[in-house]
Amino acid sequence: MALPGKRTVAAWFDDNHIRLIEQDVPELRPGSIAVDVRVSSVSPGSELSANEDQRQVKGGWRSLAEQERGQEPGLEPRAYGGYSNAGIVIATGEGVTRFQPGDRVACIGGGYAVHTDTAVVPHNLAVHLPEPVSYAEGSYGMLMGTALQALRRADLNFGESYAVVGLGVVGQLTAQLHMLAGNRVIGWDTVPFRTEIARKWGIDAAVTVGAEDPVARTREFTDGYGLDGGAIAFGGEASKAVQSLVQCMKRTPDHHVTGTIVVVGLAQFTYSDHEAAGVTNIDIRSAMRTGSGYHDEAWEFGAVYPPVVMRWTTTTNLELCMRLVAERKLDVDTLITHRIPFADVDEGITQALADPDAMLGVVFTQER
């Protein structure tokens, strides 16, 4: 398949609806590949949380559904976003040796792996898609890599107890990876549909906040010992969630609360060193990336870091995630609740938003 001159992309218009527009295909730079996109995934936590061009979108399916999709006249259509897709290589730039036309690939990268029919992506932000892995599963590379990096940042030991607060796609994947690493995991969410999905793929325990007391359930889950760590895996105001999580952490004999909290989502919270009933030694870490290399343009388009120096980069993290999906150790398919044809993107999103609490993983499909 020849590299086309034009492509179709999803764009957000001034009435807050999504339509398809035509634009030039980006230049095939040295170190990049062109991909015939078959599926792209939607991440409401970040794609729908921008304030660009005066559009006030808080993020998340429920928040989007609550907005009035009225007129905001005078705003130019902007790219709807997207940063994770999968498809077939149709061309390679100078210096690319890892791929050739016809290869099935999963791609990531803001501004690269967008909602489109033709993407041009730096070669180190793409990995081969194993044959058992569908394009839809592969399109979740970005969130899989983010979850894996969150696991690495937690730095837990085998057999420890962990809580994931927020069971969106990245939270569900974070929980699955911790269980694969030998940890016991309890998930919290306010939406019953999400805790049901977590139980469906086999989480150790799940709590629907509001209907149940997450602190009491978590203390019971840890047999009174307390959590070794936890993740905040959602965006927005998270102070109450953090305070509840701290109450569940393990304590030293001198009443210091200790453990590690990893912030995976775009959360904001206030935190005191005297949270809960005692002085804390909580280690709070951010994990907002897929691994080393991402956003290093010289690496993305160029040579890899020496593996003997840096074993786990964005590329090797993504390769591991795809292998885990291929081996059916990581369950992505259960997380996908909506498959919307790319040609019907606005109608499909509008229909799905009629019940936002029944949405989790959403993909735009272009199967041909």
Banded model confidence at residue 74, pLDDT cuts 50, 70, 90? low
**Model pLDDT, residue 13:** 77
Q: Name the average pLDDT for the chain.
A: 90
- CA-nearest of 97, 94, 135 to 113 is 135
**Model pLDDT, residue 78:** 62
**Model pLDDT, residue 52:** 41
| pLDDT surpasses 80 at 185 | yes
| pLDDT surpasses 60 at 50 | no
The predicted-structure confidence for 296-342, as pLDDT tens digits, reads as follows: 999 999 999 998 889 999 999 999 999 999 999 999 999 999 999 99
Both tokens assigned to 354: 């009629």
Least reliable range by pLDDT among 63-72, 139-148, 339-348:
63-72
Distance CA 324, CA 335 (A): 15
Give me the mean pLDDT over the 211-226 stretch. 97
| pLDDT surpasses 50 at 51 | no
Could you write out the DSSP letters of every residue in 355-367?
Answer: SGGG--EEEEE--
The predicted-structure confidence for 83-140, as pLDDT tens digits, reads as follows: 999 999 999 999 999 999 999 999 999 999 999 999 999 999 999 999 999 999 999 9
Share of the chain above pLDDT 70, in %: 87
Q: Give bridge partners of residue 163 from the DSSP assignment.
A: 186, 230
**Model pLDDT, residue 337:** 96
| pLDDT surpasses 50 at 62 | yes
Q: Quote the distance between the C-alpha of residue 319 and its chain's center.
A: 16
**Model pLDDT, residue 158:** 96
**Model pLDDT, residue 12:** 78
Residue for token pair 């980006």: 26
Stronger pLDDT, 76 or 267, i.e. the higher one: 267
**Model pLDDT, residue 76:** 63
Least reliable range by pLDDT among 71-75, 92-96, 144-148:
71-75
Residue 34 burial class via C-beta count within 10 angstroms: exposed 0-12, middle 13-18, buried 19 and up: buried
Question: How far from 301 is each of 322, 348, 360, CA to CA, in Å?
Answer: 21, 35, 32
Report all structural domains of the chain as residue ranges with CATH numbers, in order of start. Answer: 6-140+291-365 (3.90.180.10), 144-286 (3.40.50.720)
Both tokens assigned to 250: 């393990």
Both tokens assigned to 19: 């339509």
Distance CA 245, CA 28 (A): 47
- CA-nearest of 115, 189, 123 to 360 is 189
